[in-house]
Amino acid sequence: MKTKDKKALHGKTLQELNAQLLEARNELHSLKLDKSLIKLKNTRSIFEKRKEIAQILTIIKIKEPP
């Protein structure tokens, strides 16, 4: 994820972040399925998607009230 994309995440609301998180998790699931069916050629994309999910979760934790 590029720096400007990370900065854009900080400007989103909690609802938008949760929607993006759900979408990223669905994409990760489909990537794992493609890997198991030997359709996925770039296995690095799984690592990148997991990292994106972690970044979204971190921003959600920061924005949530204590």
| Structure tokens given for 28 | 């990760």
In this predicted structure, what is the pLDDT of residue 4?
84
Residues 16, 18, 21, 23, CA torsion sign: negative
Average pLDDT, the chain: 92
**pLDDT computed for residue 7 by the predictor:** 86
Provide the pLDDT for residue 52: 95
What is the mean pLDDT of the segment spanning 22-31? 97
Domain that holds residue 59: 3-63
Number of domains in the chain: 1
Task: Tell me the backbone φ, ψ of residue 13, rounded to 5 degrees.
Answer: -80, 170
Burial of 56 (0-12, 13-18, 19+ CB in 10 A): buried
pTM of the model as a whole:
0.89
- Rounded average pLDDT over 56-66: 92
Map residue 9 onto helix, strand or coil.
helix
